[in-house]
Structure 1
Amino acid sequence: MRKQTLILLGLSFLSYQFMIAQGSPDYTGGLTYKFNEDGSKYLRFISWAQVQANYNTDETVDSNGNENSKLNFNLRRARVLMYAQINKNFLILTHFGLNNVTSSTLSPTGKGDGSQLFFHDVWAQYSLGTDHTVGGGLHYFNGISRLNNQSTLNMMTLDNHRQSWATIGLSDQFARHLGVFAKGKFGKLQYRVAINDAAVSSLDSRVAAAGGDAVYNGRASLGSKDAGKTYSGYFDYHFFDSESNVLPYKVGTYLGGKKIFNVGAGFFLHPKGSVINTGSLTTPELQGEDVSIFAIDAFYDTPLSDDGSALTAYAVFQSNNYGKNYLFSAYGTGSMFYGHVGYVFKGDKASTRYQPYVSYGSHSYDAVTDNRSTLGLGVNAYMSGHNSKLTLEYKTENFGAIEDNIISLQAMIYL
């Protein structure tokens, strides 16, 4: 019995978050290769795939003016994550994969941009005693809010709230920055802070117009000396059960596996990250503007009884300042409120469990008078916790004259 306990402790220390988070009655921690007898030195592999069928109820056209099919298929995510610990004082993690493979991103020989694997995370971390860690690399220890640190393995809604990944593609690579981080806890208070390099390239490739609004490509325009670094942090207090913070990925729903109530606050700062042109068309004069994003949020997840029923709820308020009247895609200077709630029906945990949910977001922008609103209605069918689940969701988004209505069915398998 003592030997079995040692093995279990060794294997579960870093995989604890994943084992509990999935809510699976027959999940034992994935594929782990042990380097020693008690399992304290190991290499662990995780793999998952999310495949979607999306039906757009409205007529849409592509960039060439051709009508699109209302029904489309999407390989939303295909990922492999590996991490290893051969000493209790350090860990290395590697995470690679691809996203959003559709008919428009497929290439004849699999060599197109949309078909390519790339590294999402590669970092090393070192323990400073029992409760504190430092590390560096391409990492996901983000600031702002819980959703900006969301795991894609165990989301309650079909996908993460898009605007909560508040810097994705603007100053980072797919929500990951290259830099150094520190994380840990003081009792019930957990923290993560980071100093990173801002990416030179950006999805926002616009040129700042004379006398116009801000453009968020400051590092490319002003150079690394003035706009090279970003600073972020997130702090949350755990009133009931404490969540694991060994890895950065925040759990979306525990399906009643833990009793959680956390209140958090976070930030993201990019000095002179955006630019405005105070000159003329022929003689531009670029002036940097600070990017600052702040949020407060709360997460609640609890079993309601011994019969398997459970409740998950989340809410966040976020203040976004990307510069003067900034507006690009879904991002803009202004404010955002978002929340969701889901309920797991009672039932045998070894059988399929159902979780209907609703989500709502409201976004205001300084640049326009119209607000963006999103509403999602969905249901999860957990056949083996998050390790095998189906999600059906109807989502409507309204912004000015634009209205999108999409029905999605997603199948996910995670091993």
Structure 2
Amino acid sequence: MKKILFGMAFCLLFIPKSFSQGNTEYTGGFKINFNEDGSKYLRIIAWGQFWAQYNDNVPDDASNLNLSVRRARLLTFTQLNKKFMILTHFGLNSLNGSNLSTTGKGESSQLFFHGFWGEWSLGKNISAGTGLHYWNGISRLNNSSTLNFLTLDNNRQSWAALGLSDQFARHLGVYVKGKVGRLQYRVSYNEAITNTLDAANDPVANGRAVYRGRELLGSGDAGKVVQGYFDYQFLDQESNFLPYKVGTYLGSKKVFNVGAGFLTHPNGVVVMDGAGNLEGENVNILAVDAFYDAPLGADGSAITAYAVFQNNDYGRNFNLGPYDTGNMIYGHVGYLIPAPADNSRIQPYLSYQTRTIDAIDDNATRLGLGINLFMTGHHSKLTLEYANSKVGTGDSNGVVTLQAQIYL
């Protein structure tokens, strides 16, 4: 494993310097104008993320090194005027040797909608929309763009309802978003899915809560999902035209935001008492966070830092993979090393997460050490990350991942 890690790091650090830095060549994707001033248009954005991953903790008959397509996506949005917009986002995730289909018709090989919504302007700084949307609550990371992470990927526990009440971090519902001065906001009212990731688990007398409220209690008793996120922007203001929050600006903006958010799902989970009676429990998730991203000087160096505290209440002793009733603290920091504008740029980073798990009365931790190589900003970059995770008293698990990303 050490030889593989050294080889990946060598390739990452010694790419030739002939690539341009930043995203000055990029103007927001491929744009088709329908009139002379460009106010009527169709914009198309495409991206791919490709992984080579080494994992020591695999069965004896399994390969330690695996290749995959982490994401293959296409996003379009169009406006005929500034009063309304329609957005379409589709693609696939985590395509690998174990889920490829012989004829391309298997479940994991299929494209699906990650988002499809329409939006109408209600005023200068307020809009409303409906559909399968990504205007999420809770925290900045629950609204992350997958195009410009600081780290290799998002902090998994921050997508706190993925597959429990939504379809792959997108809810079907209505939303309102806008800003008042330096305060930006997004709130939504949504349907919950019936077939959740917890569908294989049945309620047990005095056992843990099961996230099957809509299925077992019915859509009348299991409530809608309400969520919101609010952030005050002290320095440069970020765009909220689209919902996707930037991971690192590479020194192109000076941003300091403090935010707070929530998600609540009345009777989202079901518990069983000692007599075998079912009753609903509410799901409540709350978070506060802070984001700082700024250049450090004229030499091109920059810092990116983020921290969040999140309280997760999925009901009594809930424990399902990345989802646990308990508290979480997560943070990351990255430093963009000075370099001439025509060179590739290097950004080492560190991430750390610790969370309590009520069901096992213990903690889980994850440490990430990584480095980004930006050849054309986020549009052409390599990321190398070593992550070490541990849950309770179990063994720690170390994984090395090399990612290549291109987006247009």
TM-score over 0.5 for the alignment?
A: yes
SS of 1:226's partner is coil
State the partner residue of 2:36.
37
2:402 to 402, 405, 409: 409
Task: Give the AA of the match of 2:47.
Answer: W
1:87 to 81, 104, 107: 81
Query: Could you tell me how far apart the structure 2 residues matched to 1:272 and 1:67 are?
Result: 43
State the partner residue of 1:209.
204
> Which structure 1 segments of 5+ residues have no match?
1-21
State the partner residue of 2:139.
145
State the partner residue of 2:12.
none
State the partner residue of 2:219.
224
Once the two structures are TM-superposed, the CA of residue 67 in structure 1 deviates from its matched residue by 2.2
Task: Give the AA of the match of 2:259.
Answer: G
Query: Could you tell me how far apart the structure 2 residues matched to 1:228 and 1:198 are?
Result: 8
2:292 to 300, 307, 310: 300
Query: Could you tell me how far apart the structure 2 residues matched to 1:203 and 1:324 are?
Result: 17
1:163-196 residue CA offsets vs partner (Å, 9 max, x unmatched): 0000000110000000000000001000000000
1:265-310 residue CA offsets vs partner (Å, 9 max, x unmatched): 0000000000101154xxx321000000000000000001111100
Query: Could you tell me how far apart the structure 2 residues matched to 1:187 and 1:350 are?
Result: 37
Whether the 8 Å contact between 1:25 and 1:350 is mirrored in structure 2 is: no
1:76-121 residue CA offsets vs partner (Å, 9 max, x unmatched): 0000000001111101000000000011110111111110100000
Which range is displaced more, 142-151 or 394-403? 394-403
Aligned length in residues:
386
Query: Could you tell me how far apart the structure 2 residues matched to 1:331 and 1:393 are?
Result: 23
1:308-331 residue CA offsets vs partner (Å, 9 max, x unmatched): 100000000000000011111111
SS of 2:220's partner is helix
Once the two structures are TM-superposed, the CA of residue 370 in structure 1 deviates from its matched residue by 2.2
TM-score, with normalisation over the residues of structure 1?
0.92
Query: Could you tell me how far apart the structure 1 residues matched to 2:65 and 2:271 are?
Result: 41
Query: Could you tell me how far apart the structure 2 residues matched to 1:262 and 1:384 are?
Result: 26
Whether the 8 Å contact between 1:23 and 1:254 is mirrored in structure 2 is: no
Identity of aligned residues (%): 59
Could you list the structure 1 runs, at least 4 aligned residues long, displaced by more than 6 angstroms after superposition: none
Query: Could you tell me how far apart the structure 2 residues matched to 1:310 and 1:194 are?
Result: 34
Query: Could you tell me how far apart the structure 2 residues matched to 1:344 and 1:138 are?
Result: 36
> Which structure 2 segments of 5+ residues have no match?
1-20
Query: Could you tell me how far apart the structure 1 residues matched to 2:29 and 2:310 are?
Result: 36
1:136-161 residue CA offsets vs partner (Å, 9 max, x unmatched): 00000000000000000000100000
| 1:254-403 equivalence runs, <5 A | 254-280=249-275, 284-400=276-392, 401-403=394-396
Query: Could you tell me how far apart the structure 1 residues matched to 2:390 and 2:61 are?
Result: 21
Whether the 8 Å contact between 1:279 and 1:286 is mirrored in structure 2 is: no
Structure 2 residue 113 is matched with structure 1 residue 119: yes
TM-score, with normalisation over the residues of structure 2?
0.93
Query: Could you tell me how far apart the structure 2 residues matched to 1:258 and 1:84 are?
Result: 26
Once the two structures are TM-superposed, the CA of residue 221 in structure 1 deviates from its matched residue by 1.0
Once the two structures are TM-superposed, the CA of residue 124 in structure 1 deviates from its matched residue by 0.4
State the partner residue of 1:173.
167
Query: Could you tell me how far apart the structure 1 residues matched to 2:158 and 2:341 are?
Result: 31
Once the two structures are TM-superposed, the CA of residue 352 in structure 1 deviates from its matched residue by 0.4
Query: Could you tell me how far apart the structure 2 residues matched to 1:354 and 1:135 are?
Result: 39
